[in-house]
Structure 1
Amino acid sequence: MTGPSSAAGHGAAAVGPWDVPGRGWYARDVHEVAHDLLGAFLTRRSAEGDVTLRITEVEAYDGERDPGSHAYRGRTDRNRAMFGEPGHLYVYRHLGLHHCVNVVAGPVGRASAVLLRAGEVVEGAGLGRARRTATGRCDSDRQIARGPARLAVALDLDLRHYGAELTDPDGELVLYRPAGLLRPPVATGPRVGVSGDGGDGALYPWRYWLTGDPTVSAYRRVSARAR
């Protein structure tokens, strides 16, 4: 398997061969999937060119058992993708302003998902930065996908990609992991922008990030509706 062509220089990620995880890889506990997404690579192919990022920060949402999850109160038309097969995207528009991209995890019907919060662009940085500057300020390459909204813009992902597949090596979107990749050092903390019971960082320290990585977004405690 040929992986992202610009991955050299990123530690264990520079070592091949590359794996494209299948459906069963995603059909695990959401926290296991969240940890294993860190250090993986997500490629978005388009007529403009390819953009690949190394995932550096995520948040786990555990379906109907999690007060912070969109699925906490059951299935709706908006969240139906979360109840479907793992290995697809759940994309939503936050407060009508920007898009957030989630990877569906766990068994069918569990409604678990992992929010992609930040990444390091390792291929197609020029294209990713051009997309970002078309919608706002981008001071450096480390800012291209630093935060969930910026990540979505850099990859040009929106509601068109609701339910998109990640397990097809030839697809528009594909997730790669270097074979034998060891879990890197990971830090944990409270999720961002979650109110109510699901916002209790002591009970839900379910934001995970690569320790010391400069592309990880800054934590801001804000009051917002449960996601």
Structure 2
Amino acid sequence: MKIVVIGGSGLIGSKVVNLLGAQGHEVLAASPKSGVNAVTGEGLAEALDGASVVVDVSNSPSFDPGAAKQFFETSAGNLAAAEGAAGVGHHVALSVVGADRMPNVGYMQAKVAQEAMITASPIPYSIVRATQFFEFLDAIAATSTDGDTVRLGPVLFQPIAADDVAATVADVALGAPVGGIVEVAGPDRFRLDEVIRSVLRGEQDPRQVVTDPAAGYYGAAVAEDALVPLGAARTGQIRLADRRTLDGAGQ
């Protein structure tokens, strides 16, 4: 079976490509680096020729709300058109747990707009929503840092390893379209401020984490449970302590 992975050279995409290739599938890692651009449409028709499944794990190069929305809406529209012409039977997209519950976070609303276009398309689909990756904890800390202080809210937080996200995406891609959402989260639930504090202390980072309910997430107010699944969800196998040095406070 031919499977095209849009964003196939990125963090998740490269892992998905390797997983599917190891199972004997014909996998094309498609990205601007390989001459396939979902935003401009360049190379899409050729890449999707003969494909049964398209997996979209591409990401906006900008977190500016307007730019991100334009990226996701344009790429989703181009993919739907190219998939229809090629007879693709399953579109799989990676999104974010709680995206529809964070109206104050522009990037999340851009993901909601992408999801809306996917659900409105005639192409059978599955949307995989994942929680925040272990690999992005440093970025979360950085965006919340002022001098030597990191201000974060005590919201619930259930981060996941990129390997577990990729495994879920690959598994969903090989199944029948669900016509809805599959959620996946890490095996352990924390408070955002506690886990970042634990990571920084474990890595002997001198920054101090201050619990500030007004700090929100990426500078925007969010509900206490906005970042975690509210219902049934798949659970990753890799624990944060297996990948990051913790001081134990957040466990």
Identify, as 1 or 2, the structure richer in strand.
Answer: 1
| TM norm. shorter chain > 0.5 | no
Which structure exhibits the higher relative contact order, with contacts defined as CA atoms closer than 8 Å and separated by 6 or more residues?
Answer: 1
Higher Rg:
2
TM category, shorter: under 0.3
Identify, as 1 or 2, the structure richer in helix.
Answer: 2
Q: TM-score, with normalisation over the residues of structure 1?
A: 0.25
Q: TM-score, with normalisation over the residues of structure 2?
A: 0.23
